[in-house]
Amino acid sequence: MFDLPLSTTLLVFGFPAFWILYTLGFLFLTRNWKRDEGNGAGQGDAP
Amino acid sequence: MNPTVLVFLVLYFVVVLSIGFWAMRRGAGGDLENYLLGGRRIGPVVTALTLQSTSMSGFMFLGAGALGYVEGYWGLWYAAGDIGGGVVNMSVIGRRMRKLSKLTGSLTPIEYLEKRYPSAAIRLIAGGLTVFLLGSYVLAQFIAGGKGMALVTGLPYSVALLIAVGIILLYTYLGGYLAVAYTDFFQSLVMITGVLWILIAALVEVGGLSAANRAIAALEPSLVSVWGRDLGYQGQWGIALGAVLIFSVGYMGWPHVVTRHMAMESPSTARKAGGYATVWNLLFVPAPYIVGVLAILILPEIGDPELAIFEVARKLLPAAVTGVIMAAIMAAIMSTADSLLLQTGSIAARDLYERFIDPNASERRMVWVSRLMVLAIGAIGYLVALFQPPTVFQVVIFVTSVLGSAFLPAYVCAVWWRKANSPGALASIVAGASAAFLWQFLDLEGASGLHPMVAGLLASTTAMVVVSLATQKRHPVPQAILDLMAESANLGTAAVEPR
């Protein structure tokens, strides 16, 4: 892609793709933080 | 100097100074928590952008551009980790550190360490080490600011440096953390506008990324590889790993960055802040490295590679846009320098002066001591920067490697590992700092194939685990701290946080 060797393509585009997935996973797992915090109760410690 | 560029720069300086005055009027200097942490009322957007703009220093416009220009796509190893730095920070320690720091009443990241690992030695060693390292880091930002201002304004370096340092000092002195966080927010927007503008201009100039890559490969094929010019880093996975780690997990060991967690308005702020940080990083982080790579074609003969991005902007963009780019470059430098200055000043005041010299100092007196420390460190930094020590890239990599190695296990284990005790934390800080320092001082990177960050982290993590386990019986973690750790793992705030 973009006339780059495969390894360079993975470096340039693979890492950002990984971080996007990581962030989406984080947002999904923590979707109840605000609500639970508002309740004032201990609701576990994810993630 | 072009008057249009000057107008943009002056406008930019007026805005940041106005934010400083605004923060002062909002009572930033009222008490120490207000001055050092903005009263712990910073929301997710500002938290994310102050975290990122503080982390992305003048290095991004000088060091990153130079790395791309000299080593080609090798530099993207640093960007690869950097993109995830914000969300890693927020997801691993953000919420818990915010909560634990509030529960313990800690106002600086070093005080936080002493409250979690009760030991005066921790405060003294961590405080002294941090003041030295962050002081050096401030110096690198001053040099970057002076170079940039001198290049664009045509003023002598010493005068340009004085203007840059004077403005940073003024708003940091006046508005404390609130001024720093909100100027960082504004500066992060300027930074992203500037860098994307110059990236687009550079891509247009070279006929697109594919055409540029073909042309660069024709000049020197190794520049489009992941192993640097002449494949100088070929197979050196230990160095590549360090490049990824230093700006991803490494952030968690930087006191001036983790302070952002302590200043959040609530523990759950970490969630949205992590998301915003990733969006900002995806747009911003790779651009300076790629502009540096494209500069190989645009300006094949640059005397100082650290000026690659400055020179590309000057060559390709009209004066008005160059003004925006210059403001962006100054924003990157100043947004880091102000945080470093405030942090160094507050650690010197709170963790060294108040803790060891004048424990009975009043809140009001401590605000003034913090301000005086900010002024003193700024003045010392200015004087040393006049002598122009090593390149910005060298100083930044040195300092960030040592900081990350020294403090990362201590901050992470503070909220995640109940057996992490004071001797373990002390050993970890000393071992990590020593290993990362010696690795660079003795130039062991080439011989060992290990980045200083990897060597430092191995040493600090091993020391934390081995010493904590070996000393559990004689130095157990106090029950009160274990209780606070358990509390910090809970999401609820209303019942537990002191107000």
Distance (Å, rounded) from C-alpha B232 to C-alpha B225?
11
* CB-based contacts of B210, cutoff 8 Å, min separation 6: A2, A3
Which of A2, A26, A33 is facing B268, going by the closest CB pair? A33
Give CA–CA dist B119/B317, Å, rounded.
55
Q: Is the distance from CB of B49 to CB of B276 less than 8 angstroms?
A: yes
The secondary structure of residue B353, as a DSSP letter, is: I
The answer, for A26 touching chain B at a CB cutoff of 8 Å, is yes
Res A39: pLDDT: 67
Q: pLDDT class for A34, splitting at 50, 70, 90?
A: confident
CB A47 within 8 A of CB B91: yes
Q: Is the pLDDT of residue A32 over 50?
A: yes
Q: Tell me the Cα Rg of chain A.
A: 18
Structure-block tokens of residue B298 = 């645009």
Instruction: Supply the DSSP symbol for B107.
Output: -
Helix (H, G, I), strand (E, B) or coil at B264: strand
> Would you call B213 and A2 a contact, using CB atoms and an 8 Å cutoff?
yes
Residue B305: other Cβ atoms inside 10 A:
22
Contacts of B213 in chain A (CB under 8 A): 2-4
Q: Can you give the pLDDT at residue B499? A: 36
CB–CB of B286 and A39 under 8 A? no
B390 in Cβ contact with B139 (< 8 Å): no
Query: Which amino acid appears at position B398 of this protein?
Result: F
Q: pLDDT value at position B89?
A: 95
ipTM value = 0.87
Q: What is the Cα–Cα distance from B224 to B239, expressed in whole angstroms?
A: 18
**DSSP code, position B91:** I
d(CA B339, CA B357): 25
DSSP codes, B28-52: TTSSHHHHHHGGG-B-HHHHHHHHH
Residues of A within 8 A of B81 (CB-CB) are 15
Task: Please state, in angstroms and rounded to a whole number, the distance separating the CA atoms of residues B332 and B353.
Answer: 30
For residue B486, the SS3 value is helix
Closest CA to B488 of B197, B172, B94: B94
At residue B427, the 3 state secondary structure works out as helix
Share of residues in chain B with pLDDT > 70 (%) = 96
Contacts of A21 in chain B (CB under 8 A): none
pLDDT in tens, B337-383: 888 888 888 898 899 999 999 999 888 888 888 888 888 888 888 88
pLDDT of residue B401: 87
CB contact under 8 A, B271 and A33: yes
Q: How many CB atoms lie within 10 A of CB B234?
A: 11
Task: State how far the Cα of B135 lies from the Cα of B256, in Å rounded to an integer.
Answer: 11
Sequence letter at residue B76: L
Q: Which two tokens stand for residue B222?
A: 């190794």
Buried-exposed string B357-376: b where 16+ CB fall within 10 A, e elsewhere: eeeebeeeebbebbbebbbe
Nearest to B210 among A3, A23, A37 (CB): A3
Judge: A27–B210 Cβ closer than 8 Å, yes or no.
no
**How much of chain A, in percent, has pLDDT values that exceed 70?**
81
User: Which ranges of chain B have pLDDT less than 50?
Assistant: 493-499
Amino acid (one-letter) located at B319 = A
Asked if the C-beta of B80 comes within 8 angstroms of chain A's C-beta atoms, the answer is yes
Evaluate whether B345 touches B107 at the Cβ level (below 8 Å): no
Q: B25: how many CB neighbours lie within 10 A of its CB?
A: 11
Residues of B in contact with A18 (CB under 8 A): 84
Does the distance separating the beta carbons of A4 and B489 come in below 8 Å? no
pLDDT score at B377: 86
How far apart, in whole angstroms, are the C-alpha atoms of residue B239 and residue B453? 9
